[in-house]
Amino acid sequence: MNITPLQSWLPFKDYFVIAGPCSAESEEQVLDTAHSLKKIDKVKLFRAGIWKPRTRPNTFEGVGKRGLKWLQRVKQETGLKVCTEVASPSHIKDALDHDVDVLWIGARTTVNPFLVQEMANYLKGKDIPVMIKNPINADLSLWIGAIERFYNAGINKIIGIHRGFSTSRPSPYRNEPLWKIPVEIRQKISTLPIVCDPSHIAGARNKIQELAQKAFDLAMDGLMIETHPNPDEALSDKQQQVTPRQLSEIIGSLKLKQEFSKDRTFGDQLTILRSKIDAVDKDIIELLKVRMNIVNDIGHEKSKKNITALQKNRLNQLISERVLWGQSLDLSHEYIDEVFQVIHTASVKKQTDLMNHNTFS
């Protein structure tokens, strides 16, 4: 794909930042944020959601078309370029009528090829940059498919936005970063600039810095960070928005790692392998939990019959059996022995605690 180089339409040094509120709420809030952001050198694009896709109805669904006038004022007063989320041809029409500079497709829209195609068709013959967020689910082809639909409609100024993926696994983040997906898309479409949106990955403002640094370690081109003058009062995504001052601090703390940016392939390869390890370790931990639940059930049975938690024979038999299983997979005797001693000790402790609890309660 012959995507237009970012520098030709959005010049910056090292990296750039897209900032602004999750949602435009009032003219005052929009202008106040934009004037503060204008003072931050790295901020090249002002964002604000005008139409908000919300999980439940009867929550704040954006101010709608009238907010586009506020974005026009941002352009006039600060000179910043502005962008907003669109999810239908009629949104695009309104945005273009109000001189919006860049459009973005939200994660809930990228999942829908019908809508994406309708919007791409509407944009035929128009020259406007489009940023495409990854779909909510971790489906690389769906993301690439949406990019192709716009590209095939003649849109050449394209940016991919990595905003994390919804997951049913327990996670410290609102959306799992799954770093290997943005790395893989860059391998498949080498000309695609990628911006990381740590706000929607984190879901909490105190995790934005570490995620932004990680995006830099992977040599991403920029960041999209939700910024609000008074985040705790925000009408959407209040936990993850930062003030312009906090944004400045985050930007000031980021370190560009030359060794990684020089050799993208090495960093990328390492990330793919590390995320595989992360997935395997999560499986191991989930299985340890399943095992511990069984240990717990056994503990209850033993306690009813007054049997001790530790039974020497069972331990010896358990270890030697596992050592054999391990050896058949080329895992050393010492390794498996050590791992299962630790697992078994934790099980005995669990059962002893349970029995003591039963005795004294």
Residues interacting with Mn ion, by CB under 5 A?
22, 237
Q: Which stretch binds ligand PEP (CB under 6 A): 1-9, 103-111, 122-130, 306-314?
A: 103-111
- Closest distance of CB 186 from ligand PEP, Å: 19
Q: How many positions of this chain bind ligand PEP (CB under 6 A)? A: 9
Residue 93: both structure tokens together: 């029409």
Distance of CA 167 to the CA centre of its chain: 11
User: Please, which of residues 32-51 interact with ligand PEP by CB under 6 A?
Assistant: 49
Q: Which residues on adjacent β-strands are paired with residue 134?
A: none
Residue nearest to ligand PEP (CB): 106
Determine which residue in the list 174, 200, 205, 228 makes contact with ligand PEP, applying CB under 6 A: 200
Q: Which stretch binds ligand PEP (CB under 6 A): 100-108, 182-190, 244-252, 268-276?
A: 100-108
Contact, 178 vs 164, CB < 8 A? yes
Determine which residue in the list 22, 100, 178, 218 makes contact with ligand PEP, applying CB under 6 A: 22
Q: Is residue 133 near ligand PEP by the rule CB under 6 A?
A: yes
Contacts of 11 (CB under 8 A, 6+ apart): none
Q: Is residue 208 near ligand PEP by the rule CB under 6 A?
A: no
Q: Give the torsion through C-alpha atoms of 292, 297, 303, 307, to 10 deg.
A: -70
For the chain, report the end-to-end CA distance as a whole number of angstroms. 69
Amino acid at 232: D
Determine which residue in the list 106, 193, 198, 244 makes contact with ligand PEP, applying CB under 6 A: 106
Contacts of 307 (CB under 8 A, 6+ apart): none
List of E strands, 218-260 = 222-226
Q: Is residue 198 near ligand PEP by the rule CB under 6 A?
A: no
Q: Which residues bind ligand PEP (CB under 6 A)?
A: 22, 49, 53, 106-108, 133, 163, 200
